[in-house]
Structure 1
Amino acid sequence: MEANRLIEMLLEHPGQYISGEEISRRLSISRTAVWKQIAKLREEGYEFESAPRRGYRLIRQPDKLSQAGLLHALQGNRIFGRRLKLLESTPSTQEEVRKLAEEGAPHGTLVLAEEQTAGRGRQGRRWYSPPGKGIWMSLLLRPERQPLSIAPQLTLLAAVAVCRAVRKVGGVDAGIKWPNDILVGGRKLCGIIVESVAEDELIRFAVAGIGIDVNLEANDIPQELSPIATSLSLESGRRIDRITLIGAVLTEMEQLYELYTQEGFAPVSHLWEALSVTLGREIAVHTPNGVLKGTATGLDPSGALLLLDQDGKHFTIFSGEVQLGG
């Protein structure tokens, strides 16, 4: 606990020294205990510079998620991520959040893991989640008395938030393939899955799972996925600080969710359309009833995809796998 509070204190004053006396006073521990906490953090990969009569300053954090670092990155948020659980490894962050939700966890609860051993994507596909290279997290949403029919809108909202954060932090030209895949250069960078639990046709809670390939190198990507998958570091040409990106995603999510609750889906829909790599293109949609081909023309008010085929017939697609290029 003292180690987390110490890191939080140093992160509040980046690049500045804080005296051992000040740390001792604020943490209510002895100067010897301060030194022991610094030594413990050094063993975990934190680098400090110390100077007589000046104290300590943080030089570098390990490439590892930390409670203190995450809370610092999320300090601008009122709700999303302020209650969080950080795991070294878990089969699925989705299942972790689902359990917490059933136990009464509040709206905005976040679970992150360094590794998932049984991560899931859309349509039950396995999501490759190696340790320390990506962002594997799930967020609990509790919409107030909303019908189950709005669940697709939450998926699109999450896609907009992630895409905006990736563009901001990674500096890449990311776009959204309907409904929720984030692509860069035509290859998948991130997958999103939103699963809802309903009662009497009202959403009890929803769990938004987000998997972002952040610092995977080319040899980290399974051979069968290499033609269609990429990572943010491969596309940007540099390593990306995962904590900074998590903070950006959750900040975008909270701001968009507040906008959504106040003004409805329309503003989110407009933002989604501006980031889409699907609209205006020839596509093929693999649906439970067969393959539909045509031009993606927009979203309907529910978030479904509108398609115009070569015969001039209009279709509304509520679910399906989109293939760009028809």
Structure 2
Amino acid sequence: MIIIKVGATDSTNLHLKRMLAETELEDLTVLVTDAQLKGRGQAGAQWISEPGKNLTFSVLKYFDALEASRGFLISQAVSLALIDAFGRFGIPDLSIKWPNDIMSGHKKICGILIENTIKGNSIVQAVIGIGININQASFSGLPHAASFSQITGTEYDLDSVLDVVLNSLRDGLVRLSDTDEEVPKMYDSNLFLKDREAEFKVDGNLVKGVIRGVTQAGKLILEIDGSQCSFGMKEIVFKL
């Protein structure tokens, strides 16, 4: 993996895509920054990270023949790779909050933003943006956010964590194919709140439901009053 480090940028995903437009980049090129000034999360949300305290980076991955209809496999593989890496640092009670946040208990420690390039019916490349809360001591106005150090009481070396995370990501992505059925099963088994009744906001209304899994297209399967329904990212909100 080739790692490129920059002091500050607007967004690592945007920065990496600008580089890609200007020059040919190798598979698994990584762009890391100490300060991300306009970080982005899912659905246009802002990703806020204290400079020098956390990991914010993007990874470029090329694909030979990954069907666009199976694009959520990338998110699933990345999420599982991160859980594997975080477990090596003693982070407890890890799970995946659909579609792609990593939780420790009820606290969010990592967010993922994946942007795919599609040609015909295939995904040819993905820019995978990842933000991991490592040594940040507080998260004003974000009651459900936490960092590695807050959870374990340990200060972490950012480069050491990055090395473990990137190795896990590489291993998870290089063998990914659209015939892989193990990754979706493992993703479902690691879902936050799976098989437990919880509250959700659907069409402006609070409902109680039970998460049963995720469809091949990446929609959340929720059981409500004995019936199963599937929801896209903008159609449902978790109430923590």
Question: TM-score, with normalisation over the residues of structure 2?
Answer: 0.89
SS at match of 1:230: coil
Instruction: Pick which of 228-237 and 166-175 moved more.
Output: 166-175
The unaligned stretches of length 5 or more in structure 2 are none
User: Pick from 226, 231, 236: which aligns with 2:147?
Assistant: 231
Give me the whole-angstrom Cα distance separating, in 2, the residues matched to 1:154 and 1:193: 11
Give me the whole-angstrom Cα distance separating, in 2, the residues matched to 1:121 and 1:284: 22
> Is it true that 1:313 corresponds to 2:232 in the alignment?
no
> Residue 199 of structure 1 corresponds to which residue in structure 2?
119
1:200 alignment partner AA: G
> Residue 147 of structure 1 corresponds to which residue in structure 2?
67
User: Pick from 7, 11, 14: which aligns with 1:92?
Assistant: 11
User: Pick from 105, 118, 128: which aligns with 2:48?
Assistant: 128
Give me the whole-angstrom Cα distance separating, in 1, the residues matched to 2:68 and 2:132: 26
SS at match of 2:174: helix
> Residue 190 of structure 2 corresponds to which residue in structure 1?
275
The answer to whether the Cα contact below 8 Å between 1:178 and 1:322 also exists between their aligned partners in 2 is no
Structure 1 residues 260 and 202: CA distance shift in structure 2, 3 A: closer
The count of corresponding residues between Structure 1 and Structure 2 is 237
Instruction: Pick which of 267-276 and 208-217 moved more.
Output: 267-276
The answer to whether the Cα contact below 8 Å between 2:194 and 2:210 also exists between their aligned partners in 1 is yes
More helix by share: 1
Question: Deviation of residue 249 (structure 1)?
Answer: 1.4
Give me the whole-angstrom Cα distance separating, in 2, the residues matched to 1:160 and 1:177: 12
SS at match of 1:194: strand
> Residue 216 of structure 2 corresponds to which residue in structure 1?
301
Question: TM-score, with normalisation over the residues of structure 1?
Answer: 0.67
Identity over the aligned pairs, expressed in percent?
Answer: 27
> Residue 248 of structure 1 corresponds to which residue in structure 2?
164
The answer to whether the Cα contact below 8 Å between 1:285 and 1:323 also exists between their aligned partners in 2 is yes
> Is it true that 1:160 corresponds to 2:112 in the alignment?
no
2:20 alignment partner AA: A
RMSD: 2.1
More strand by share: 2
Question: Deviation of residue 302 (structure 1)?
Answer: 3.7
1:110-129 correspondence to structure 2 within 5 Å: 110-129=30-49
Question: Deviation of residue 109 (structure 1)?
Answer: 0.8
Question: Deviation of residue 284 (structure 1)?
Answer: 4.5
Question: Deviation of residue 216 (structure 1)?
Answer: 0.4
The answer to whether the Cα contact below 8 Å between 2:91 and 2:148 also exists between their aligned partners in 1 is no
Question: Deviation of residue 88 (structure 1)?
Answer: 0.7
Give me the whole-angstrom Cα distance separating, in 2, the residues matched to 1:143 and 1:180: 20
Give per-residue Cα distances to partners, 1:173-220, cap 9 Å, x unaligned.
2211112111113011111111112233432321111000100012xx
SS at match of 2:195: coil
Question: Deviation of residue 125 (structure 1)?
Answer: 0.9
